[in-house]
Structure 1
Amino acid sequence: MARWIVLAAAVAVALAWRAPAHADAPSAIVFFGDSLTYGLHASAPERAFRAILTARLARTRDAGPVLAFIQDPVGLLDDAQQKLPLVLAARPALVFLELGHHEIWSDEEQLARFEARYADILDRLLASGAEVIPATLSWLGAQPGSFAFEASLRINAIIRRLAAERGLVVADLWTPTVLRWEVLSTPADVSFVPPYTGDDLHPNDAGHRVLAEAFWKAYREHRQRARLAIPWSLYGRGPR
């Protein structure tokens, strides 16, 4: 519970930082997520996975405006559903979806609602014409056998199944982080987000690099699938 309170306090600033969505804006790359998408607990904004990935995407055919929409620090997926109209108003062409971590500190009732809520978010994004790369949960320090650890496994299975049913490539954040304490921030680490130190919960700089690599791998696979689905004569410049 203490870590949950720290999470809420540290991410509160993110709510004022969401980029505004305008109906006449060009199609954008959108990151829709929680405190990890905001950047907790990288030592600097440019070391967060979103910034790393944005820099790489700038060298691809998907280069363009990049927006971030951050879930309420204590909100569950119902909060994300309420924010979805803002995301859709940005007319996203590509969405990196990083949601579900908050549910691991909830209860069985909320876990039971996860699948329907997540499916709704996926389907509304896809119906808008956006390409979507959903991510599994990252490991946030939960011990095997704990409710949070087992909830993470259940949620990841749901995300993978829903993505597979829709033909989507999943960014696997779990496998490269699980039980790897070296990728979690500690109180000895500097963070660019208040309270300006790590918390044994969110990723450190090394952790954000791991997340960026996982998203980049999924992005490249997503683009490769798209290339195989169109005629050779229409191939454009893909990811490098």
Structure 2
Amino acid sequence: MTRHRTATLALRGLGLLAASALTLWTAKLLRVKRGVGRARRYWSNPQGEPGGLLYVALGDSTAQGVGASRPERGYVGLVAQQMREQTHAAVQVVNLSRSGARIDDVLSDQLPRLAALRPDLVTVGIGGNDLLTYDPAAYVRQVSALTAALPPGTVVADAPYLMHGHWERDAERAADLLTRSAEGHGLVVVPLHDALRREGWSAMATQFAADFFHPNDRGHRVWAEAFWSGILQSPVATRLGPAPAHG
């Protein structure tokens, strides 16, 4: 076989490999997009068992579980499962979050619905969409309004880690702003930004869905662990009891 023939076959093989990879990535990306509707339908009704602890989640698509293989494998579903295992009690989840939501949407749409409920735990994961078009002055106003309106003891994440460029600089400032405002209103802050930063750059390959924006199953577990640490500092912790023994 000539050298030219060998090179041609090698290039053709690389082309086929690249085409296969692109096809696989496209299929995964479509699955993430379909997951938005799937999560919305799943959370359109309360999930879990009534008569025990009531957990209400506010936020955006991450609270919906978009990016996970199933909605209940998002961080909200994982937190609910952790509550069941910790308390051996029934846990019902009312997930008021919405994909694409911003802070203003929580204020105008989600908080009024929360007012009709008597939850044992409220978590909030919001702000990622606001950071895409970050306006510092507007963010301060929105965060101030949000933290003033949330019930005391609400567990609220500061801001996601956006890894690079001005997006990360904005996210770091946003995390600090939300933390200071939330603590001033008696809220429990989840240092999500630092938790995600500790995962490092390798997380881009292992903890994100195909759109490189939403966490995948592994990424949602990291979010859930960060939220759980905050929950253990919240008023609901008194009803959780000691951690179950293992081994």
Common fold: TM-score over 0.5: yes
Please report the TM-score for the alignment, with normalisation by the length of structure 2: 0.69
What does residue 191 of structure 2 align with? 172
For residue 10 of structure 1, report the CA deviation from its aligned partner. Answer: 5.8
Task: Report what 1:230 is aligned to.
Answer: none
- SS state at 1:176 partner: helix
Paired-residue identity, %: 28
Aligned mate of 1:151, from 167, 170, 178: 170
Contact 1:41 1:185 in 2 (8 A): no
Give yes or no for the alignment of 1:47 onto 2:64. no
- Equivalent-residue separation in structure 1 for 2:140 and 2:187 (angstroms): 16
Q: 1:37 to 1:237 in 2, by over 3 A?
A: closer
CA contact (8 A) 1:32 1:70 kept: yes
How many residue pairs get aligned? The number is: 206
Question: Residue 161 of structure 2 aligns with which residue?
Answer: 139
Question: The residue matched to 2:150 in structure 1 has which SS?
Answer: helix
Q: Partners in 1 of 2:94 and 2:73 — Cα distance?
A: 17
Q: For 1:210, give the aligned amino acid.
A: V
Q: CA 1:136/1:61 → structure 2, altered by over 3 Å: closer, same or farther?
A: farther
Q: Which has the higher contact order (CA 8 A, sep 6+)?
A: 1
- Three-state SS of the structure 2 residue aligned to 1:114 is helix
Name 1:92's counterpart in structure 2.
Answer: 119
- 2:143 maps to 118
Instruction: State the 1:100 CA deviation.
Output: 0.8
How much has 1:9 moved relative to structure 2? 7.9
In structure 2, the gaps of 5 or more residues are 1-30
| Larger fraction in helix | 2
CA distance 1:77–1:185, change in 2 (3 Å) = farther
Opposite residue 83 of structure 2, the aligned amino acid is L
Structure 1: which 5+ runs fail to align? 1-5, 192-196, 228-235
TM-score, with normalisation over the residues of structure 1? 0.71
CA distance in 2, matches of 1:239, 1:115: 38
Q: CA deviation at 1:91?
A: 2.8
Distance 1:87 1:19, change over 3 A: farther
Deviation at 1:174, TM superposition (A): 1.2
RMSD between aligned alpha carbons?
A: 3.2
2: distance between equivalents of 1:87 and 1:185?
36
* Structure 1 runs (4+) greater than 6 angstroms displaced: 6-9
